[in-house]
Amino acid sequence: MYQKPNKRLKGQTAIVTGASSGIGRAIAIEIARSGANVIVNYYSDSEAAEEVVYEINENKLTGEAIPFKCDVSSEEQVQAMFKSAVDKFGTVDIVVANAGIQLDYALHEMSLDNWQKVIDINLTGQFLCAREGIKEFMRRGLRPEVSRSLGKIIHMSSVHEVIPWAGRANYAASKGALVMLMKSIAQEYAPMKVRANSIAPGAIKTPINRDAWETPEALEKLNQLIPYKRIGETSDVAKTAVWLASDESEYINGSTIFVDGGMTCYPGFTDNG
Ligand code: NAI
Ligand code: BGC
């Protein structure tokens, strides 16, 4: 059923990292439907990023989109992305630090490079984007006509900020560390009306976890971990992100919202323990 978009982000600008696929793509489109301009950040797949931009601009989703190529683990490139956003749209109001990777290895076989790469993108990348966002929010000052907050930072975490993950210690460590990055930002900048929160998705159907859902057998096994008995869709996360970016969630700061169908409710205990 077609739902008329709610223009609750009108007049604002968002940077969404890793927006050429999966969760980031859905968030960029949903944010534009809600009235904001969007910087569609991508790492290498320019064609996929152009498609997201096309979908937003051609369908006249209110917000305007531009693509921007940037490796979120590069300080220089992240700074260039924020400069480009400010040059084009005047400011940045919403930062969705979504880009992330998995490089899975048993710990004793994990090279320093495979540890570092995940930390650099999943953690340092989110630090760099949050820092540049906060600098821009402070430079610009409050615009009460568009939002009661000075700016909003949304970190893309994971259920693995609380669920340990064998064979993926680099990934779980990066998401666990985001808890304290996000909460420290919330504590430090709340007096200036900056809000920082995380979304912790469970299993969402995207390229990052294709192995876990592409066959009926894999999906059945995955469902054993999900009390709600369905894999998450990117729209489940995108709708949460738009709400967190809007004034409807104004008093929420320093929180993680789990979008996981109950994955963090210890499903193994349903008939055991
Ligand atoms: P995805 O693989 O479709 O998206 C990841 C995006 O990050 C890609 O567009 C990729 O190009 C981009 N990226 C990778 N390295 C980058 C870099 N150095 N600079 C800029 N962009 C870069 O997978 P998905 O699922 O959409 O992942 C998005 C976020 O959601 C990640 O942070 C992931 O950890 C998180 N997440 C995903 C879950 C899932 O079940 N799909 C569950 C929990 C968290
Ligand atoms: C991972 C996915 C996984 C999900 C649930 C996410 O953080 O990126 O691969 O399916 O957590 O375990």
pLDDT in tens, 232-273: 999 999 999 999 999 999 999 999 999 999 999 999 999 999
Each residue's pLDDT tens digit, 93-103: 999 999 999 99
Tell me, in angstroms, the distance from the centre of ligand 2 to residue 165's CA. 9
| C-alpha to C-alpha distance for 102 and 87, rounded to whole angstroms | 33
Of all protein residues, whose CA lies closest to atom 2 belonging to ligand 2?
A: 209
Each residue's pLDDT tens digit, 204-235: 999 999 999 999 999 999 999 999 999 999 99
- Residue 259: CA atoms inside 13 Å, Cβ hemisphere, count? 21
Q: Point out the ligand nearest to the CA of residue 198.
A: 1
- Ligand 1 pocket residues where CB is under 6 Å: 17-18, 20-24, 43, 71-73, 98-101, 121, 156, 158, 201, 203-204, 206-209
Number of CB atoms found within 10 A of residue 24's CB: 29
Among 251, 139, 154, 165, CA closest to 196: 154
Ligand 2 atom, smallest distance to 163 CA: 12
Q: Are 55 and 29 in contact (CB under 8 A)?
A: yes
pLDDT at residue number 60: 84
Tell me, in angstroms, the distance from the centre of ligand 1 to residue 206's CA. 9
| C-alpha to C-alpha distance for 131 and 129, rounded to whole angstroms | 5
Q: So where are the chain's domains?
A: 13-204+233-265
Q: Is the pLDDT of residue 86 over 80?
A: yes
- 3 state SS of 138: helix
pLDDT at residue number 143: 97
For 41, the enclosing helix (H) or strand (E) is strand 37-42
Q: Is the pLDDT of residue 2 over 70?
A: no
pLDDT at residue number 99: 99
- 43 assigned to active site: no
Confidence of residue 61 (pLDDT cuts 50, 70, 90): confident
Tell me, in angstroms, the distance from the centre of ligand 2 to residue 158's CA. 7
Alpha-helix residue ranges (DSSP H) falling in the chain: 22-33, 46-58, 75-89, 112-119, 125-140, 169-189, 210-213, 216-223, 234-245
Average pLDDT of span 125-140: 99
pLDDT at residue number 6: 80
The model's pTM: 0.98
For the domain spanning 13-204+233-265, the CATH number is 3.40.50.720
Average model confidence (pLDDT) for the chain?
97
pLDDT at residue number 3: 66
Of all protein residues, whose CA lies closest to atom 6 belonging to ligand 1?
A: 18
Least confident of 59-63, 74-78, 80-84, 234-238: 59-63
Q: Is the pLDDT of residue 48 over 70?
A: yes
As a whole-number percent, the residues of the chain with pLDDT over 90 amount to: 96
Of all protein residues, whose CA lies closest to atom 5 belonging to ligand 2?
A: 203
Catalytic residue among 171, 189, 228, 251: 171
Let me know the angle formed at the C-alpha of 43 by 42 and 46, rounded to the nearest 5 degrees: 60
| C-alpha to C-alpha distance for 119 and 121, rounded to whole angstroms | 6
| C-alpha to C-alpha distance for 116 and 149, rounded to whole angstroms | 34
The token pair at 167 is 């064979």
